[in-house]
């Protein structure tokens, strides 16, 4: 039986047991979940039950913090499955510590998106629980900017955090798009407690701009959602790299995620003479309607009628983009801050094949392997001594050999030494379209640095 199928059966058995206990009126377990003698769950309603698949009793706890509602539901489900699979590979251990897992949600039902108040309360719950040694998350960079400083000041040396999907430059490096105090203000203790396993937006923005130029784009127009600093950063990194590469920015404009129609906005893009359109934001921010109105006004994204090609960074890199936008998504290019699942080799290829066996015909979500890789990095940092301060200290010294996404090190800033990035194109699912390793000068321009 495949490993992930075994984990699913264990989880279903735990749910059945919990239901049986609840039916018997077990007053000692109000939530109906499995209890452990040495590990307490994070005290927040956004988290599921504690899970443990190893021998004996767990001694420490790690949590995931990901958006589990709305358009992100399937992506987060697969990311949590990937974390469980990595824990299973490690026998639910980090060195001598026996590691339990709890999956937590940082989104809200009203919007299906990450929520500032939820991110704050989640981080406070993790910090207050001495059993929580590390966090795998977040997916959204804005949520990370809220959680990092709270976890940085947690008792006993802070809580380590490893993200499978954050790309905002300012979380780890200074850039022209950052607040003047960032990133140092995110680490009030003076110690970095955060790492990620994907390159940041400077690398991704430069890569997407390089790819767009190769597709013949000379005059791109850039849109981003209003009042979203993370998306503004992605817009600026693309524009900075595009200008360096000799492209002329036809214009930049915001979109209102609450709007019901973007026809006038697309007419403005058409009037600029743009031959490319970049959506620097998230699918959750009414992205499907944007794509549909783009095609209605500016024509299809592929074929002889494709006068304006369509591009987006990783916020649109999920199957839900194709499902929600329908045929209008065809030909849309999206970048990911790393490699596509089908382009991974070695352990990554084996992981993807096993995950595909377990989920059936559904496409592998692009960040699922990176969630497993984030788990591997966190467990590696915990292995020498699974205490908070020691894990934080070890985090930015982790070296990964033959990891799920390749060989890399976590640098002192918390960034990985990874590259290139992949570009995929929308068909029935997103499929490989090319890879880019942008020049150092293009990355510097994306970061807002002058003079190459």
Please give the structure tokens belonging to residue 346.
């070695």
Helix (H) or strand (E) holding 97: strand 97-105
pLDDT of residue 450: 62
Give Dmax over CA atoms of the chain in angstroms.
71
Q: Name residue, tokens 């589990």.
A: 68
Please give the structure tokens belonging to residue 21.
């206990």
Cα 427 versus chain centre, distance: 22
| Main-chain dihedrals φ then ψ at residue 193, nearest 5 degrees | -115, 15
Domain-by-domain residue ranges, the chain?
Answer: 3-200+342-409, 202-336+421-446
Residues 6 or more apart in contact with residue 415 via CB below 8 angstroms: 172, 173, 195, 196, 199, 200
pLDDT of residue 33: 59
Helix (H) or strand (E) holding 278: strand 276-279
Contact 274, 308 (CB under 8 A): yes
- Whole-number Å distance between alpha carbons of 390 and 46: 28
- For residues 380-419, one letter each, b for 16 or more C-beta atoms within 10 angstroms of the residue's C-beta and e for the rest, the string is bbbbebbbbebbbbbbbebebeebbbbebebeebbbbebb
- For residues 76-100, one letter each, b for 16 or more C-beta atoms within 10 angstroms of the residue's C-beta and e for the rest, the string is bbbbbbbbbbbbbbbebbbeebbbb
CATH superfamily, with its number, for domain 3-200+342-409: Response regulator (3.40.50.2300)
User: Whole-structure pTM over 0.75, yes or no?
Assistant: yes
**Distance set, CA 94 to CA 27, 137, 187, 400 (Å):** 33, 18, 25, 15
- Whole-number Å distance between alpha carbons of 347 and 345: 6
Contact 226, 259 (CB under 8 A): no
Q: What is the DSSP letter of 107?
A: B
- Note whether 3-200+342-409 and 202-336+421-446 share their fold: yes
- Whole-number Å distance between alpha carbons of 109 and 143: 16
Q: Please list the residues that pair with 65 across neighbouring strands.
A: 104, 137
Contact 446, 245 (CB under 8 A): no
Tell me which residues of the chain have a pLDDT lower than 50. 1, 5-6, 8-32, 452
CATH architecture of 202-336+421-446: 3-Layer(aba) Sandwich (3.40)
The string of pLDDT tens digits covering residues 4-21 is 544 544 444 444 433 333
- Whole-number Å distance between alpha carbons of 301 and 320: 18
């Amino acid at each position: 039986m495949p490993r992930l199928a075994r984990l699913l059966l264990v989880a279903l058995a735990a749910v059945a047991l919990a239901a049986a206990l609840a039916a018997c009126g077990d007053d000692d377990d109000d939530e109906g979940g499995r209890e452990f003698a040495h590990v307490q769950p994070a005290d927040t309603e956004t988290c599921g039950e504690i899970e443990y698949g190893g021998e004996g009793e767990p001694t420490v706890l790690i949590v995931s913090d990901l958006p589990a509602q709305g358009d992100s539901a399937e992506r987060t489900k697969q990311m949590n499955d990937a974390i469980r699979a990595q824990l299973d590979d490690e026998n639910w251990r980090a060195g001598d510590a026996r590691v339990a897992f709890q999956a937590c949600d940082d989104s809200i039902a009203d919007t299906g998106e990450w929520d500032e108040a939820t991110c704050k309360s989640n981080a406070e719950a993790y910090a207050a629980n001495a059993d929580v040694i590390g966090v795998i998350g977040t997916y959204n960079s804005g949520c990370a900017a809220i959680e990092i400083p709270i976890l940085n000041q947690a008792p006993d040396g802070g809580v380590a955090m490893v993200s499978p999907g954050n790309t905002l430059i300012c979380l780890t490096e200074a850039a022209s798009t950052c607040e003047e105090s960032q990133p140092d203000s995110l680490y009030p203790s003076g110690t970095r407690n955060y790492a990620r396993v994907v390159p940041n937006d400077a690398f991704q923005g430069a890569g997407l701009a390089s790819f767009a130029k190769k597709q013949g784009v000379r005059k791109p127009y850039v849109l981003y959602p209003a009042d979203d600093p993370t998306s503004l950063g992605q817009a600026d990194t693309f524009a900075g790299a595009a200008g360096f590469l000799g492209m002329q920015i036809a214009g930049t404009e915001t979109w209102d995620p609450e709007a019901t129609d973007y026809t006038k906005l697309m007419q403005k893009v058409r009037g600029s003479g743009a031959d490319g359109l970049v959506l620097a934001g998230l699918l959750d921010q009414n992205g499907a309607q944007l794509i549909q109105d783009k095609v209605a006004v500016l024509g299809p994204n592929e074929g002889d009628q494709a006068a304006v090609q369509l591009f987006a960074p990783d916020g649109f890199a999920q199957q839900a983009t194709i499902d929600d936008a329908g045929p209008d998504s065809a030909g849309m290019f999206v970048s990911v801050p790393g490699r596509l699942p089908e382009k991974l080799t070695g352990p990554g290829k084996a992981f993807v094949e096993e995950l595909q066996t377990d989920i059936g015909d559904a496409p592998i979500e692009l960040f699922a392997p990176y969630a497993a890789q984030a788990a591997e990095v966190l467990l590696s940092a915990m292995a020498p001594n699974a205490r908070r301060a020691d894990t934080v200290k070890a985090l930015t010294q982790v070296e990964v050999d033959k990891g799920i996404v390749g060989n890399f090190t976590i640098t002192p800033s918390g960034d990985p030494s990874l590259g290139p990035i992949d570009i995929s194109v929308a068909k029935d699912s997103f499929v490989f379209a090319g890879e880019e390793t942008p020049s150092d000068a293009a990355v510097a321009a994306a970061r807002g640095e002058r003079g190459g």
